[in-house]
Each structure stands twice: as C-alpha cells, then as structure tokens.
Amino acid sequence: MNAATSGAPTLSLVVPMYNEEETVSTFYRRAVAALEQIAVPFEIVVVDDGSTDGTFERLRALAEGDSRVKVVRFSRNFGHQTAVTAGLHYAKGAAVAVIDGDLQDPPEFVPRLFEKWREGFEVVYAVRRSRKESVLKRAAYRLFYRLLRRLSYVDIPLDSGDFAIMDRRVVDELNKMPERNRFVRGIRAWVGFRQTGIEYDREPRFAGESKYPLGKLVKLAYDGLVSYSFVPLRMVTHLGFVISGSAFALILYLLTLRLVYGERLVTGWTSTVVVVLFLGGIQLLSLGILGEYVGRIFDEVKRRPLYVVRETVGFDRAEELSKTAAAELEIAPEVALRR
Ligand code: UDP
Ligand code: MG
C-alpha cells in the first residue's frame, strides 16, 4: 500500500447526515478520537443530504478548522443510500468505513473493523447483536432480514446494515455500478471478495428523531427484495399456474354437470362473487409486483445522475475538477484524472 506516500489517506470515514445539527460536534469529537487511535492518515467525508437545519453550517465550520474533514452538500434530500453512495465516490482512502451520523453506530468500533481489514478481509461488516429501538421496529427488521435472506440470490448477511469497512478494490467496484435504486448492503455482498462480520451493540440515537419514516423504510425493503430477488415474480407465475389449474378443473366439473347430468345451475351467486373477487385481488397483486420491477426499470433507463451536489468543502481543486468531468462524461473519476 502506498497510500501514505501518495498523500492519500489510508482510512476514509463516510458519514451520511440529514438534519443532525445536534449531533455534529459530538460525532466529530468521538470520531476523531477513535480514528487517531489507529495512527494512520485519515479523512472524514460527510455527505449532507440536503439538511434544512444548521447541519451544513456546523460541518463547514469543522472542515475549515480541520483539513481532514470534507463535506459534500447535496442540492436536496436524496436519501440515505444515495448519500452513502456519494460518500464512496468522494472517499480516497485505501480502506473506507461507512457509519451512520447519528451515533447509533459507535465510532469507537471503527478501529476494530480496521484491524480486521488489516488482517486481509476486503469487507468487514458490523453485525448488530442488539438494538435499542421499539419492539415493533425490531420485529419488522428481524422479519425483513430473514425474508431477504430466503428470497435473494446473493448472500446478504443477517442483521448487518451499512456500518462496515471496505477495501479500495471493493469501493472501486461499487463505484462502477450505475444502478439508481441502491441497496448498499446488497451490492456490497454481491461484489464478493473476502467478507466477514463482527458483532456490536447498536446504540440509541444521540439526538433527534429517526430520519427513516415508515415510507422510506418500506421503499428500502422493496429495493432490497426487488433488486436481489426474482422470487416475487416467480410467485406470480406459480400463482397463475395454480389458479388456471383450479379454474380448468372447475370448468370440467361444471360442463360434466351440465352435459352429462343435465343440471341447470341458476343458484350460485355466492360462488360467482367469491371467484370474481378472488381473481380480481390476485390480478391486482400481480400487477403491483410487476409494477415494482417495471418502475425500477423505468428509473434505471432514464439514466439521470444519482444525486446533485450543491457545493463541497475541503476537497482539492484537482479532485473537484475530475469529479465534474467524471459527472459530465459519466465515467469513473480515476479515468477522468488520467485524461
Ligand atoms: N440519513 C440521510 N438521508 C436521509 C435519511 C437519513 O442521510 O434521507 C442519515 C441520517 O442522518 C443518519 C443515517 O442516515 O446519519 C441513518 O438514518 P436514521 O438514523 O434516521 O435511520 P435509522 O437509524 O432510524 O434506521
Ligand atoms: Mg439511526
């Protein structure tokens, strides 16, 4: 590794923040204290995901006083996964750690992730041994991760979020991926290499409220399921077979009654209505599942950029220019630099 000689940091810490003004200074203090323990050059890349409170002003003040702090400010709220993605684009380290900016993931745990990376693992993800959230939310998370594991065609580890450290090679692979509806822990698992997990206790939020209202969580869950599984589509096909089979059997039965036994059925309002409602429901459900996939296809083919940056603080001028060139040409920044 020649990160130290080339002036690039060895470790980058990527932090998405959305309206976390009360947490910024404590986060900074704890993160710097933890990273200084490792005694390698580091940078903290904070992505301000369109905060509407004082988050950005506080971050800018920190970045102006400490050249290791860098800030990418979005033009609006693009969402947590997109903020993480942008952070990975801007991070320069030989190892890149991703951490939540609300202190639910303790920065003091990063040195342990870093140790494992040094041992030669390309991905070391933190596995939540415990969570301090409401019973309902915990149950929902448990169910989702187990469902995802059953359904998906990549091996996404149980109870691990985005809190992880990744080798430069993995980050480069992630950065090449153009997909828009991102589920970072999914693509991270998809990439492969040597991966391992270590357990930690997830803490309660330092301040403020969760920035993941139910709607955003459901979207994240759908992204995870739809992007890494064809099972929902296959279920629709299976259902189609079962229902067509039953309908065919029923047709035979009714025809036999009519033709062989000469029965004229005029009663049967209930059965008719039940069948119609049942089929209507199944059809709507199937359309919905198809829609989830089609909607995402639509989103992908538009090929819009993933996010819009309003301003950055603390990056080199050369880095900045290469980013702009990369964004315009839709190529990786390293390539842009070489041109
Ligand atoms: N976050 C973000 N954009 C969003 C929502 C959240 O950058 O649209 C950040 C947030 O500031 C925090 C992290 O992502 O640092 C995790 O979000 P949150 O704590 O709200 O999620 P939860 O822990 O409740 O799942
Ligand atoms: Mg949180």
The average confidence (pLDDT) of the chain is 84
- Helix (H) / strand (E) element for 32: namely helix 24-38
pLDDT of amino acid 338: 44
Query: What number of residues does the chain have?
Result: 339
CB 195 within 8 A of CB 121: yes
pLDDT of amino acid 151: 80
Closest residue to atom 8 of ligand 1, CA basis = 79
- pLDDT tens digits for 188-200? 888 888 999 998 8
CA–CA dist 43, 31 (Å, integer): 10
Bridge partners, 164 (sequence order): 98, 125
In the DSSP assignment, the letter for residue 23 is T
pLDDT of amino acid 272: 82
Q: Report the separation in Å between the CA atom of 48 and the middle of ligand 1, taken as the mean of its atom positions.
A: 11
Helices (H), the chain: 3-6, 24-38, 55-65, 80-90, 110-118, 135-151, 168-176, 184-191, 214-227, 231-259, 269-301, 317-329, 333-338
Closest residue to atom 13 of ligand 1, CA basis = 100
- Joined tokens for residue 223: 């992204």
pLDDT of amino acid 336: 45
Any ligand 1 atom below 6 A from CB of 286: no
Pocket test for ligand 1, best of 21, 26, 55, 80 (most atoms within 8 A of CB): 80
Residues in the chain with pLDDT values less than 50: 1-5, 329, 331, 335-336, 338-339
- pLDDT tens digits for 170-190? 999 999 888 877 788 888 888
Any ligand 1 atom below 6 A from CB of 104: yes
Ligand 1 atom showing the smallest separation from residue 209 Cα: 20
Beta strands 309-313 and 69-74, pairing class: antiparallel
CB 91 within 8 A of CB 106: no
- Helix (H) / strand (E) element for 189: namely helix 184-191
| pTM, full prediction | 0.73
Q: Report the separation in Å between the CA atom of 103 and the middle of ligand 2, taken as the mean of its atom positions.
A: 7
Q: Report the separation in Å between the CA atom of 17 and the middle of ligand 1, taken as the mean of its atom positions.
A: 7
Write b or e for each residue in 210-249: b if 16 or more Cβ atoms lie within 10 A of its Cβ, otherwise e: ebeeeeeeeebbbbbbbbbbebbeeebeeeeeeeeeeeee
Closest residue to atom 2 of ligand 1, CA basis = 80
The residue with tokens 């985005």 is 162
Domains and CATH numbers, the chain: 11-229+304-338 (3.90.550.10), 231-301 (no CATH)
Q: Please name which ligand lies nearest the alpha carbon of 85.
A: 1
Treating both helix axes as pointing N-terminal to C-terminal, what angle do 168-176 and 80-90 enclose, rounded to 10 degrees?
120
Helices (H), 79-152: 80-90, 110-118, 135-151
